[in-house]
Amino acid sequence: MESIKRRREFEEALRNIIAKLRRDQQDRINRSYIEEIGQRYDLKPNQARKLFVESRGDIWKGELIESEGEPGWEAAKLERSPATGISEDSSV
């Protein structure tokens, strides 16, 4: 149960941070920052990265930016702010 709580807290933190980035007209979040956020919730770097990637489409939309020097991605380019619970479709 504790791991589920940490995951939800991490996801909520991501929502808030991504919303702040969008308000500040920032469109990029670095992998190292994702890992740092995860640390706050006792997640290992690989767990934080995995949860972030899995939250794509729910918490954030955009593209992962591939790392030039090492395998994997170094950042994400964000396309929109996180879901607010308000439907973007006014007919719903």
Q: pLDDT at position 81, please?
A: 46
Q: Where are the domains of the chain?
A: 2-80
Of 86, 76, 72, residue with least CA distance to 21: 76
Please give the pLDDT value at position 80: 57
The pTM assigned to this predicted structure is 0.80
Cα–Cα distance for residue pair 3/14, rounded to 1 Å? 16
pLDDT of residue 38: 97
- Whether pLDDT at 85 is above 60: no
Tell me the per-residue pLDDT of 16-72, one tens digit each, with 9 for 90 and over: 999 999 999 999 999 999 999 999 999 999 999 999 999 999 999 999 999 888 778
- The residue among 57, 51, 50, 64 whose CA lies nearest residue 83 is 57
Mean pLDDT within 1-5: 83
